[in-house]
A and B are shown apart, each in its own frame.
Chain A
Amino acid sequence: MSKLFRRVWYLLRQRRLERDLAQEVEFHRALHAEELQRRGLDMESARRESARVMGNMALAREDARRIWIGHALDGIWQDLRYAARSLRRNLFVAAVAVLTLSIGVAANAAMFSVINAILLRPLPYSDPDRLVLIWVADPARNIHEGATSFLTLTDWRRENKRITDLAFWQERAGNITGGGEPERVVGALASANLFPLLGVAPLVGRTFTAEEERQREAVVVLSHRLWQRRFGGATSALGQMLEVDGRPLQIIGVMPQGFQFPTGDVQHWEPATLMSAWSSKPPVAERSWGNRQAELWRVVGRLAPGVEIRDAQSQMDAIGQRLARSYPSTDPDFIGYQTELVPLLQQVTGRNLQIALWTLLGSVGMVLLIACANVSNLLLARGASRTRELSVRAALGAGRRRLVQQLLIENSVIAFAAGIAGSLAAGWVVRAIAVSATPIPRLDEVRTDTTVLAFMIMVSVLAGLLFGVVPAWKLSGKCPIDGLKEGAIDGRPASRLRATLVVVECALTITLLVGAGLLMRSLLLVRSVNAGFDAANVLVARVHLPIPVSPQWRRQEWDTFAEFTSRLEALPDVRGAGAITNLMTFEHPEEAITAEGRPVPPDKRSSVLVNTADVMPGFFRAIGVPLLSGRFFTAREQNAPIAIVNETFARRFFLGEDPVGKRFKEGGPDAKDAWITVVGVVGDMHRHGLESAPIPEFFFPSTEPTMDLVIRANTDPRSLGASVRDTIKTTYANAIVLQMQTVDEMFGDLTAQRRFQAWLMAAFAGVALVLSAVGIFGIVHFAVSQRQREFGLRIALGATRQDMFRLALGQGLRLPAIGAALGLIGAFALTRLIEHLLFEVRPTDPLTFAGVAVLSMAVALLACWIPARRATRVDPLVALRCD
Chain B
Amino acid sequence: MGLTNQPPDLLPGTLDLLILRTLVSGELHGYAIAERLKVLSQDVLQVGESSLYPALQRLLLNGWVKAEWGASENNRRARFYTLTAAGKKRLAAERAEFERLVGAIQRVLQLA
Q: Which residues of A contact B (CB under 8 A)?
A: 2-3, 6-7, 10, 20-21, 23-25, 27-28, 30-32, 53-54, 56-57, 59-60, 62-64, 66-68
Chain B residues within 8 Å of A68, by CB: 57, 61
Known: A27-B76, A63-B5, A67-B57. 4 other contacts (CB 8 A): A2-B63, A27-B72, A60-B2, A63-B57
Q: Most chain-A Cβ atoms within 10 A of its Cβ — which of B2, B5, B30, B76?
A: B2
- B50 and A24 contacting across the interface, CB-CB below 8 Å: no
Q: Which of B60-112 contact A (CB under 8 A)?
A: 61-63, 72, 76-79
27 contacts between A and B (CB under 8 A): A3-B62, A7-B61, A21-B53, A23-B77, A24-B29, A24-B78, A25-B49, A27-B29, A27-B31, A27-B72, A27-B76, A27-B79, A28-B34, A31-B31, A54-B49, A57-B49, A57-B53, A59-B2, A59-B5, A60-B2, A60-B5, A60-B53, A63-B2, A63-B3, A63-B50, A64-B57, A68-B57
CA distance A445 to B78 in the complex (A): 62
Using A3-B62, A6-B63 as known contacts, say yes or no to A24 and B57 having CB atoms under 8 A apart: no
Q: A10 CA to B2 CA in the complex, in Å?
A: 20
C-beta contact mask, B5-35 vs A, less than 8 Å → 1, else 0? 1000000000000000000000001110010
Q: How far, in whole Å, are A663 and B31 apart by their CA atoms in the complex?
A: 117
In the complex, the answer to whether A10 meets B61 with C-beta atoms within 8 Å is yes
Prevailing SS type, chain B contact patch: helix
B79 touches A20 (CB 8 A): yes
A59 engages B50 (CB within 8 Å): yes
Chain B 33-57 against A: per-residue CB contact (8 Å), 1 yes, 0 no?
0100000000000001111011001
Contacts of A56 in B (CB 8 A): 5, 48, 50
Q: How many angstroms between the C-alpha atoms of A27 and B75 in the bound complex?
A: 11
Docked-complex contact B49 and A53, CB < 8 angstroms: yes
* Nearest CB of A to B79, in Å: 5
Inside 8 A of B3's CB, which chain A residues have their CB? Answer: 63
| Residues of the A chain whose Cβ atoms lie less than 8 Å from the Cβ of B76 | 27, 30
How far, in whole Å, are A63 and B54 apart by their CA atoms in the complex?
Answer: 6
In Å, the complex CA distance between A64 and B57 comes to 6
Residues of B with C-beta under 8 A to A2: 63
Q: Which residues on the A side are within 8 Å of B63 (C-beta)?
A: 2-3, 6
Per the bound structure, the CA–CA distance linking A7 and B62 in Å amounts to: 10
Report the bound CA distance from A20 to B29 in whole Å. Answer: 13
Chain B hits for A25, CB < 8 A? 49, 53
CB neighbours (8 Å) of B50 from chain A are: 56-57, 59-60, 63
Please, how many angstroms separate the alpha-carbon atoms of A483 and B29 in the complex?
53
List the B residue with the shortest CB-CB distance to A29: B49
Question: Closest approach, in angstroms, between the C-beta of A10 and any C-beta of chain B?
Answer: 7
Taking the nearest CB of chain B, how far is it from the CB of A61, in angstroms? 8
Known contacts A3-B63, A60-B50, A64-B53; is-contact A24 B58 (Cβ 8 Å)? no
- The smallest C-beta distance from B98 to any residue of chain A, in angstroms, reads 22
Complex interface: chain A residues within 8 A of B77 (CB): 23, 27
- Pair B62/A24 contact, Cβ less than 8 Å: no
Chain A residues lying within 8 Å of B51, measured Cβ to Cβ, are 60
Question: With A3-B63, A27-B78, A68-B61 known to touch, is A60 a contact of B49 (CB < 8 Å)?
Answer: yes
A23-B77, A56-B50, A57-B49 are contacts. A28–B31 as well, Cβ < 8 Å?
A: yes
Given contacts A3-B63, A28-B30, A60-B53, contact A67 B58 (CB under 8 A): yes
Q: Note all chain B residues with C-beta closer than 8 A to A3.
A: 61-63
Question: In angstroms, how far is the closest chain A Cβ from the Cβ of B96?
Answer: 23
For B29, list chain A residues within 8 Å (CB).
24, 27
